[in-house]
Chain A
Amino acid sequence: MEHIRIANDWYRLDNAAKIFPAISTKKETNTFRVRVDLVDTIDMALLQQAVNLVLERYPMFKVRLKSGLFWNYLDYNERPFIVLPLPQRVCGSLSPKEHNGYLFQIYYWKKSIVLEMFHSLADGSGAFALIKSLVYEYLLLKGLKITPDNLILTRDSLPTVEEYEDSNLTYYDPHNHKHVPEKRAFLIKGTPISDGNIGLISATIATKDMMDLARANEASVTEYLTALMLYTIYITHIQYREHLKENKKPVKIFVPVNLRKQFPSKSLRNFTNFVKSGMVMNRSDISFDEILAETKKQFAYGLQKSELIRKMSENVSFEKNIFLRATPYFLKKFVLKIGYNMMGLLLNTLSFSNLGKIDFPESMQPHIDKISVGVYSGRFNTVNFGVVTYKDQFSMTFTRSIVETTIEREFFRHFTSKGIHMTLESNYVEEYR
């Protein structure tokens, strides 16, 4: 423990992480969850041991948030990390009082291990690296014979500077940071769920069915699902109602892009950007194919390297603005809050994160049953969507902060109408009122 504590035991927040502490509240928690279901029931004592071991390997996660004069920073946290039973609240706020200051929490429930993480700490890739190491350590402690197969960061390796660097600052281009103004997006309205709870509905279909469906339309899975999402919102909320003022706003889907695939970064912290696919739904005869064609065009444009670098540099140049930097944090907080409300939150209808395919070593696969992900939902982005692939299971999870499930229903019925077999699970938040 003490011997691997590296000399640098505090970290600057990365570019994306800087904004989250200022804008997060009890309702806009900016957390996400990764859930791994094992085959056997979780042994809580072993899980606790495994977490303690894993945190030695991830010094950049054994931190808490502290405030400096100009920026917050992550400082070494000497307090113990304690795993907890899964609460009903999905993606609740990680209050420092309840979690010894840690910005993530590991929960256990029957057969599942659930990781909830505050977005300041890392993005989905970082979270998956952590939970993969955790499951690996846990299974080792259970006495199983498993190998890491270069897919898992084990305690045999040491943390490197590449893992905690802010890759945004490495790959941005100071000359390409034009700001492109955007219109406010259509927002899905509904009845808020009481006590700020979040409903979760998760569906699993066969990966092959999903691939076939996307391939038949000559689109990638992300493109297909984005187009389907736009179409679902269109038919459930806008079609034949185009004349309403709210419905004249464009429907925009925010799709995070993992930049590690575009740039050679090994960072475990935030290194994502986004592609937005949007459309003004001003006719009553828009077809799915039309939306899909438009989405493909927008993805091709948004995924160009120059466009990704532009968006990244825009954020970095905002952070590097000398006036912003020289403002003390307690004032800066308000600037960030106002800026985010104007330029971030209200510009998206819904966010759709595709975490891609999760690989586990072959020796571990028999012990892991299922993986799913979820994103918090708040006051404005009332419905969010997360997707992950593990082996032959394609898991799609909706989280919502409203009672209505129209979007989920129409979205999933699209698959079942094509004869695809689908298994659902829900946290049944509506049954416990």
Chain B
Amino acid sequence: MKYCDKCHVDVQTNQKYCPLCHQVLQGDNDETWIELYPKFIPLRREVLPLTKKIILFITIVAIAVLLAINLTAWEGKLWSLIPIGSILYVFMIVRYGVLSRQNIAFKLALLTTALILILNMIDQQFTEPEARGWAINYVTPLALLSCNVAISAIIWIRRINFRDYIFYLLTIMVFSLVPIILCLFNIVTVVWPSLAAFGLAIFILLIIVFFFPKSIKDEIKKRFHF
């Protein structure tokens, strides 16, 4: 116990100064005394934020360079959108797929959705008219189908966690309905991939409804309460 004769207080410490007035305290250090608070260790620079910064920096510089080249040597097409889209996608994979600690169903759902959007953009903008439609006909339904299979498989294998994943599974299922609706409006011309995606989505939905009715009800209640 030390004493500050300016503030007239006892101070429980082995430190030299009074916390209130910063005068030197009176009294000797007590060797048996254990400090009440841990010693401060200054923040070490963590690797992860630095990696993030470097990746972000490279991404932005690359995008700027591509745009600049594209615009200075203008040939009537914004071709730089293809590499920019790919770079952004790689950025998303690293940022949300690798570095993020979100659950894997979220990662799969997000990355699949982003991939579909980018490929459809490329398809619409840069494919010759006669070959157009590959993204919406084949890629979209089949990507949704594989995503559905992947999330279901993860739920199947790691049963304990299904409550966290079911929401993302439902989202992808709702997306799976989109190609089949587009089929009705003749925007999608090849029917079988859309039908397969739709069929699988309905199949999984029925399994959940029949075998885990409570979990799906709970999840909807939780996510949409207001």
- Residues facing A in B6-59 (CB within 8 A) are 7-13, 15, 17-21, 34, 36-43
Q: How far is the CA of A417 from the CA of B11 in the complex (A)?
A: 17
Given A78-B160, A428-B15: A197 and B40 within 8 A (CB)? yes
Minimum CB–CB distance from B111 to chain A (whole Å) comes to 19
Q: Is B223 a contact partner of A69 (Cβ separation < 8 A)?
A: yes
User: Is A215 part of the binding interface, using a Cβ–Cβ cutoff of 8 Å?
Assistant: no
Of B12, B42, B160, B218, the residue contacting A423 (CB under 8 A) is B12
Given A109-B38, A416-B7, A425-B36: A201 and B226 within 8 A (CB)? no
Interface bracket on B: 20 to 34
Q: How far is the CA of A167 from the CA of B8 in the complex (A)?
A: 45
Of B12, B21, B222, the residue contacting A10 (CB under 8 A) is B222
**Per-residue contact bits, chain A 108-130, to B (CB 8 Å; 1 contact, 0 not):** 01111000000000000000000
Minimum CB–CB distance from B131 to chain A (whole Å) comes to 38
Question: Which of B9, B17, B19 has the most C-beta atoms of chain A within 10 angstroms of its own C-beta?
Answer: B19
Q: Is A68 a contact partner of B160 (Cβ separation < 8 A)?
A: no
- Residues facing A in B155-195 (CB within 8 A) are 160-161, 163
**Per-residue contact bits, chain A 68-89, to B (CB 8 Å; 1 contact, 0 not):** 1111010110100000011110
Given A88-B39, A405-B20, A426-B19: A68 and B225 within 8 A (CB)? yes
Residues of B near A425 (CB, < 8 A) are 11-13, 36-37
Given A201-B20, A426-B11: A85 and B224 within 8 A (CB)? no
Q: Is B20 a contact partner of A409 (Cβ separation < 8 A)?
A: yes
Q: Is B10 a contact partner of A97 (Cβ separation < 8 A)?
A: no
**Per-residue contact bits, chain B 191-226, to A (CB 8 Å; 1 contact, 0 not):** 000000000000000000000000000100011111
Given A409-B20, A412-B20: A70 and B7 within 8 A (CB)? no
Q: How far is the CA of A430 from the CA of B37 in the complex (A)?
A: 13
Residues of B near A197 (CB, < 8 A) are 40
Q: Is A110 a contact partner of B34 (Cβ separation < 8 A)?
A: yes
Q: How far is the CA of A422 from the CA of B40 in the complex (A)?
A: 26
Interface bracket on A: 35 or more
**Per-residue contact bits, chain B 52-73, to A (CB 8 Å; 1 contact, 0 not):** 0000000000000000000000
Q: Is B34 a contact partner of A422 (Cβ separation < 8 A)?
A: no
Residues of A near B11 (CB, < 8 A) are 423-426
Q: Is A416 a contact partner of B12 (Cβ separation < 8 A)?
A: no
User: Is A182 part of the binding interface, using a Cβ–Cβ cutoff of 8 Å?
Assistant: no
Residues of B near A203 (CB, < 8 A) are 9
Q: Is B225 a contact partner of A86 (Cβ separation < 8 A)?
A: no
User: Is B77 part of the binding interface, using a Cβ–Cβ cutoff of 8 Å?
Assistant: no
Q: Is A86 a contact partner of B38 (Cβ separation < 8 A)?
A: yes
Q: Who on chain B is nearest to A408 by CB? A: B20
Q: How far is the CA of A192 from the CA of B38 in the complex (A)?
A: 21
Residues of B near A416 (CB, < 8 A) are 7-9
Q: Is B223 a contact partner of A68 (Cβ separation < 8 A)?
A: yes
Q: How far is the CA of A200 from the CA of B38 in the complex (A)?
A: 12
Of B7, B40, B42, the residue contacting A413 (CB under 8 A) is B7
- Residues facing B in A413-433 (CB within 8 A) are 413, 416-417, 421-432
Question: Which of A75, A421, A431 has the most C-beta atoms of chain B within 10 angstroms of its own C-beta?
Answer: A431
Minimum CB–CB distance from B63 to chain A (whole Å) comes to 25
Q: Is A88 a contact partner of B20 (Cβ separation < 8 A)?
A: no
User: Is A5 part of the binding interface, using a Cβ–Cβ cutoff of 8 Å?
Assistant: no
Question: Which of A69, A75, A426 has the most C-beta atoms of chain B within 10 angstroms of its own C-beta?
Answer: A426
Of B9, B10, B40, B224, the residue contacting A429 (CB under 8 A) is B40
Q: How far is the CA of A150 from the CA of B1 in the complex (A)?
A: 37
Q: Is B40 a contact partner of A432 (Cβ separation < 8 A)?
A: yes
User: Is A325 part of the binding interface, using a Cβ–Cβ cutoff of 8 Å?
Assistant: yes
Question: Which of B20, B38, B41 has the most C-beta atoms of chain A within 10 angstroms of its own C-beta?
Answer: B20
Q: Is B226 a contact partner of A325 (Cβ separation < 8 A)?
A: yes
Of A73, A110, A200, A432, the residue contacting B225 (CB under 8 A) is A73
Q: Is B37 a contact partner of A88 (Cβ separation < 8 A)?
A: yes
Q: How far is the CA of A373 from the CA of B188 in the complex (A)?
A: 64
**Per-residue contact bits, chain A 387-429, to B (CB 8 Å; 1 contact, 0 not):** 0000000000000000001001100110011000111111111
Q: Who on chain A is nearest to B43 by CB? A: A195
Q: Is B13 a contact partner of A432 (Cβ separation < 8 A)?
A: no
Of A200, A325, A423, the residue contacting B37 (CB under 8 A) is A200
Minimum CB–CB distance from A361 to chain B (whole Å) comes to 25
Minimum CB–CB distance from A256 to chain B (whole Å) comes to 25
Q: Is A201 a contact partner of B19 (Cβ separation < 8 A)?
A: yes
Having A87-B38, A109-B37, one finds 6 other A-B pairs with CB under 8 Å, namely: A86-B38, A110-B36, A111-B34, A195-B43, A423-B11, A426-B13
Ranked nearest first, the 7 interchain pairs of A and B with the lowest CB-CB distance are A426-B19, A70-B226, A432-B40, A427-B37, A416-B8, A409-B20, A88-B40
Can you list 20 A-B contacts with CB-CB less than 8 angstroms, sorted by A residue number?
Answer: A10-B218, A70-B224, A71-B225, A87-B38, A88-B38, A110-B34, A195-B43, A203-B9, A405-B19, A413-B7, A416-B8, A416-B9, A423-B1, A424-B4, A424-B9, A424-B12, A425-B11, A425-B12, A426-B37, A432-B42
Interface of A toward B, CB cutoff 8 Å: 10, 12, 66, 68-71, 73, 75-76, 78, 85-88, 97, 109-112, 195, 197, 200-201, 203, 325-326, 405, 408-409, 412-413, 416-417, 421-432
